[in-house]
Amino acid sequence: MQPVKHLLPSIIFGLLLVPTSAFAMRSQTFDFAAGEVNATWSGKGAIQMQQLPGGILLSTTGTGLFITESALTLSPQMGEITVSSETPAHLYLSWIYDKDPDQHQYNTALDLPAGEALTTYVSLSEVLSWSHSSKKIGLILLPHTQILLHQIRFDELNVLERTMEEWRSFWTFDWYENYSINFLWGPQLTNNPATRRDLFFIQPPSTSTSAMYVILWLLAILTAVLWFAAQRMITRKRALVIGSSLLLGIWIFLDLRMGSEFLSWILADQSSYIGVDSESRTFRERNRFYDFADFAAPLVRDRTSYIFFAEQQWPYLGNMRYLTYPSIPGIDLQHDDTWVIYRRSDVTVTKDNELNIDGLPVTGPGKILGRFDERSFVFRSNEPATMNISAPTQQ
Amino acid sequence: MNLLTFLLALALPTLLGWVLLLILEKNHPVLGRTERMFWALILGPTLFTLIVFLSQVLGLTKLNLFGFLIPLLLVLSLLLFVAQRTHALQVRHAKIFYAQSAPLSRFLVCLILLLSVWAGMKVLAGTYDLISVPTSWDDSFNNWNMRGKMFFFHQKLVLEIPIGNGLVQPSDGVSSYPPSVPLLKTWLSVLRGSWQEPLINGLHIIWLVGLIGSFYFALRRRLSPLLSLGGVCLLISLPLFLIQAMNPYADIFLAAHLFLAMMCVYRSAQAQELPELSTWMKLSGFAIGILLFTKNEASVLYAPLLLFLLIFIMLSKKKNNSIDAESVRKLLGTSFLIVACIGAPWILFKWFHGLSFGNAKSVSGMHIAFHPAVPGAIWYHLSHEPNWLLLPFVLPLTLLLSGKRAFRLPEGVLTVFLFAAITAQFLIFTFTPLATEAIMQTGLSRGLLHIAPIAMLLVMVLAESLLNGKHRECYC
């Protein structure tokens, strides 16, 4: 234990040498509300700018660049952009380094949802071309884009905040997904909230570091240290006890993480499906499919086979086959007269009671045996299909 | 009603397995009373489905209430008669000596008790979910549940699965898997009178219960009750193990059967006296024979490996003059005969019906080529994902620290089996079109799941030796 006693003061002394700025969170905000604009901004290309009370309305006829002359001097890990937009918009956050003689323009894509004053978070620490150097910031708007820009903000997190983010991301859980039966992404480490918010949206989680990988490396190093210690400083038995205690401790810690994730899935099932009435419950990513299948099964029971169109083939076709057995779903348009439609907005029934796909009639007159929701129903024609439908229609 | 059906449906098959175990143990009992119940819970229902399968394919019965009950009651009566005549039933009173309780620190006792509560919470919550949610996993609705539902509707074994538009799935598809799990689902539904999702999915809990019970008693031969309980908690802590156990998949089902077969082989290697060895060899025959009726992986990989190990053990014992050549012939002959009797019906059935041997894809005629993405996928699965927590690190470390002991009999049997199974799996994934199963982490995770309980047992046994200082050899 002697070396540890010497190590502790060194660590404390080392921490004292760290600049105090490392512990201070810094932000730089660009406001666009009338009377609060705090930088000079200009438009380049086919872009029009109009100052409104809540912000600047940007609209483009071609590609446009909205850029500031003021430099961003922080080294932020994340950005936040707040806009109002009637439709989802695809933008690029753009930057030019002050000291770059070529004034090269770098950018990273942003997908903004439709809505009133919604904030979109941008993780910058994983963008390879993003560096600490002073830079000018801008937005690139694609042709025919219109947004009301309220605010752009950049945050440079301090050491403590980054450490807290690593801890929070470790305890951020994945959902019960189709792949969960075969593998689990497990705890991920990231040091900014923007990445943590979308931790499992990108797969494999490439914007974060696997905590398992870090732990295994640390364990390998500790094992080597213990082995070395067992040769010179402590007995083999003591090294084994220390090593096994350490392994057991980490094992239990990981068990708590993974067991909690498992329990969170059960709780999610309970609150979205098991404990909810059958009129409104949903099941994981399958939405209301299982209640739809319960609804449709009695309606096809008098048929050995029926036509089944769903929003996608997997997993619905196989799952429906099992749920309605011995009635078998397929696309045998020549022989089957019963159509089971699940979440297909392109499949409709006309006023003449004909089934249409993409606006074209595919059956003669018939009737809806039952409607589950606007896009899901069971239809029976008086005769089989009137036209040949190409396979891609059934995705 | 579902619970009553569940208990009734499993009681008789478990009794069947229990009586057969007593008969096999009659000369020298080797299983404890409770331990035998866990073994019977795993082996009995599968034996029952084998009997029903035989009766059905021979055209003697349908898959209806009588078709299940008559063969079951006939065989059970016969076994009870044999057990009565041979006094095998007396074996149930025999006592097995497990490891003595070792004094543990208060901290360790509290830790194990807390871990047990935690593991119990996970299993209870998982069971609740298992019986409350619809059948949503691919292999369940395309294979295990689908086939069970087909047998239930048609009251007979059906190999051709309709896939719509008048087409059927070819015989090298999921029908090449033994029908044991689907038949049990059919049996539950026949007894219940209708196809009930909670009932047929809830069935899967028995293999987790059977496996953790058997695992506990396997540890009890070396560790105290509390430490064995701790070992069970560590097994349940493996995330993929828990998730697979809490869903209607059949890989824990295979893992449970494989674990018992491996235990028989391991105990055969450990046995010091001939009567004990004889019992373990007979049990090995029974467990390996039943293993062939679980999943395809058993017949192409695990069963041949276990049989090879049995031969190796016998030859080692003969070399050490523990037993004579005559005994080797007799013991191996008996064991292999039992395997053949139990395993042959399904293997022959597959042969006659052209069903493939492999993981739902035939292993014969596969194009051999190196798939460079596979080693990376395997490395990622083991090092970046918490599927097995620290087991991929702890297992090689324990083997390294244990040195020669890990490769000597009896523990060497476990080590060699794991080495061979892992190597074979990795080679198959790396050099055959099954590579996609490693890259997508489907077949890869299942393959590792099958052997995870054996790996955990080996780690615990070797760690116990290391910490108690029972040996000094080390490869480091």
Cis check for the bond before A361: say yes or no (omega within 30 of 0): no
Whether B192 contacts B199, CB under 8 Å: yes
Q: Mind telling me how many Å the CA of A177 is from chain B's nearest CA? A: 10
Q: From the CB of residue A2, how many other CB atoms can be counted at a distance below 10 Å?
A: 7
Whether A153 contacts B209, CB under 8 Å: no
What string of H, E and C letters represents the secondary structure of chain A? CHHHHHHHHHHHHHHHHCCHHHHCCEEEEEECCCCCCCCCEEEEEEEEEEEECCEEEEEEEEEEEEEEEEEECCCCCEEEEEEEECCCEEEEEEEEECCCCCCCEEEEEEEECCEEEEEEEEECCCCCCCCCCCEEEEEEECCCCEEEEEEEEEEECCHHHHHHHHHHHHCCCCCCCHHHHCCCCCCEECCCHHHHHCCCCCCCCCCCEEHHHHHHHHHHHHHHHHHHHHHHCCCHHHHHHHHHHHHHHHHHHHHHHHHHHHHHHHHHHHHHHHCCCCCCCCCHHHCCHHHHHHHHHHHHCCCCEEEEEECCCCCHHHHHHHHHCCCEEECCCCCCCEEEEECCCCEEECCCCEEEECCEEEEEEEEEEEEEECCEEEEEECCCCCCCCCHHHCC
Q: What is the pLDDT of residues B200-255, one digit of tens each?
A: 999 999 999 999 999 999 999 999 999 999 999 999 999 999 999 999 999 999 99
Q: Report d(CA B249, CA B140) in Å as an integer.
A: 6
Q: What is the pLDDT of residues B422-439, one digit of tens each?
A: 999 999 999 998 999 999
Q: Are strands A41-52 and A135-141 parallel, antiparallel or unpaired?
A: unpaired
* Residues sharing a CB contact under 8 Å with residue A295, sequence separation 6 or more, in sequence order: A370, A372, A378
CA torsion sign for B308, B241, B138, B9 is: positive
What integer pLDDT is reported at residue B364 of this predicted model?
60
Give bridge partners of residue A92 from the DSSP assignment. Answer: A109, A140
Residue A237 to residue B165, Cβ atoms within 8 A: no
Residue with tokens 């009565």: B84
CA B291 to chain centre: 7
What integer pLDDT is reported at residue A93 of this predicted model?
95
- Considering only CA atoms, which of B300, B268, B296, B294 is closest in space to residue B281? B268
Q: What is the pLDDT of residues A3-21, one digit of tens each?
A: 445 555 666 666 555 555 5
Residue A251 to residue B237, Cβ atoms within 8 A: yes
Q: Report d(CA A10, CA A13) in Å as an integer.
A: 5
This model of the complex carries an ipTM of 0.94
Least confident of A299-313, B156-170, B182-196: B156-170
Q: Report d(CA A383, CA A336) in Å as an integer.
A: 8
Whether B262 contacts B417, CB under 8 Å: yes
* Average pLDDT score, chain B: 93
Structure tokens at A142: 């694609």
CB interface of A with B, residues 22-81, below 8 Å: none
- Considering only CA atoms, which of B345, B339, B341 is closest in space to residue B311? B339
A269 touching B (Cβ < 8 Å): yes
Residue with tokens 């790396």: B430
Q: From the CB of residue A62, how many other CB atoms can be counted at a distance below 10 Å?
A: 11
CB neighbour class for A374 (10 Å; exposed up to 12, middle 13-18, buried from 19): exposed
Q: CA separation (Å) from B407 to B312, B402, B410, B411?
A: 13, 9, 8, 7
Predicted model pTM: 0.91
CB neighbour class for A15 (10 Å; exposed up to 12, middle 13-18, buried from 19): exposed
Among the partner-chain residues B122, B129, B401, the one whose CB lies closest to the CB of A259 is: B122
Provide φ and ψ at A18, rounded to 5°.
-65, 135
Residue with tokens 């005769």: A383
Ranges of residues in chain A with a pLDDT under 50 are 1-4, 390-395
On the question of pLDDT at B355 being above 90, the answer is no
- The residue extents of the domains of chain B are 1-92+131-204, 250-359, 373-476
Whether B415 contacts B406, CB under 8 Å: yes
Tell me which of B151, B186, B378, B393 to substitute to probe the interface with A (most A C-beta atoms closer than 10 Å).
Answer: B393
Structure tokens at B450: 């099958």
CB neighbour class for A132 (10 Å; exposed up to 12, middle 13-18, buried from 19): exposed
On the question of pLDDT at B360 being above 70, the answer is no
Residues of chain B positioned with their CB less than 8 A from the CB of A200: none
Mean pLDDT of B74-97: 90
Residues of chain B positioned with their CB less than 8 A from the CB of A223: 397
pLDDT grade, residue B365 (50/70/90)?
low
- Considering only CA atoms, which of A62, A54, A122 is closest in space to residue A94? A122
CB interface of A with B, residues 334-393, below 8 Å: none
Give bridge partners of residue A115 from the DSSP assignment. Answer: A85
Residue B401 to residue A240, Cβ atoms within 8 A: yes
On the question of pLDDT at B304 being above 80, the answer is yes
Q: What is the pLDDT of residues B227-240, one digit of tens each?
A: 999 999 999 999 99
- Considering only CA atoms, which of B286, B257, B391 is closest in space to residue B23? B286
Q: Mind telling me how many Å the CA of B237 is from chain A's nearest CA? A: 6
* Biggest CA-to-CA distance, chain B: 68
Q: What is the pLDDT of residues B335-349, one digit of tens each?
A: 999 999 999 999 999
A262 touching B (Cβ < 8 Å): yes
Mean pLDDT of B262-271: 96
What integer pLDDT is reported at residue B470 of this predicted model?
58
Q: Report d(CA A392, CA A390) in Å as an integer.
A: 6
CB interface of A with B, residues 305-334, below 8 Å: 305, 308, 315, 317-319, 321-323, 325-326, 328-332
Among the partner-chain residues A181, A210, A274, the one whose CB lies closest to the CB of B244 is: A181
On the question of pLDDT at B366 being above 80, the answer is no
Q: Report d(CA B418, CA B232) in Å as an integer.
A: 19
What angle (nearest 5°) sits at the alpha carbon of residue A50, between those of residues A48 and A54?
Answer: 135
| Residue of chain B with shortest Cα separation from A287 | B136
Give the number of A-B residue pairs with CB atoms closer than 8 Å. Answer: 165
Tell me which of A179, A281, A322 to substitute to probe the interface with B (most B C-beta atoms closer than 10 Å).
Answer: A322
Cis check for the bond before A113: say yes or no (omega within 30 of 0): no
Q: What is the pLDDT of residues B275-301, one digit of tens each?
A: 999 999 999 999 999 999 999 999 999
Residue A212 to residue B132, Cβ atoms within 8 A: no
Q: Mind telling me how many Å the CA of B390 is from chain A's nearest CA? A: 6
- The residue extents of the domains of chain A are 25-156, 158-275, 285-393
On the question of pLDDT at B386 being above 50, the answer is yes
Buried b (16+ CB within 10 A) or exposed e, A378-388: bbbbeeebeee
- Considering only CA atoms, which of A363, A368, A367, A369 is closest in space to residue A383? A363
Whether B72 contacts B48, CB under 8 Å: yes
Residue B141 to residue A212, Cβ atoms within 8 A: no
Mean pLDDT of B119-123: 98
- Give the CATH number of domain A25-156: 2.60.120.260
Tell me which of A203, A210, A216, A262 to substitute to probe the interface with B (most B C-beta atoms closer than 10 Å).
Answer: A262
What integer pLDDT is reported at residue B250 of this predicted model?
96
Residues of chain A positioned with their CB less than 8 A from the CB of B149: 322, 325
Residue A227 to residue B476, Cβ atoms within 8 A: yes
What integer pLDDT is reported at residue A385 of this predicted model?
64
| Residue of chain A with shortest Cα separation from B169 | A318
Residues of chain A positioned with their CB less than 8 A from the CB of B248: none
What integer pLDDT is reported at residue B476 of this predicted model?
36
Among the partner-chain residues B121, B136, B385, the one whose CB lies closest to the CB of A186 is: B385
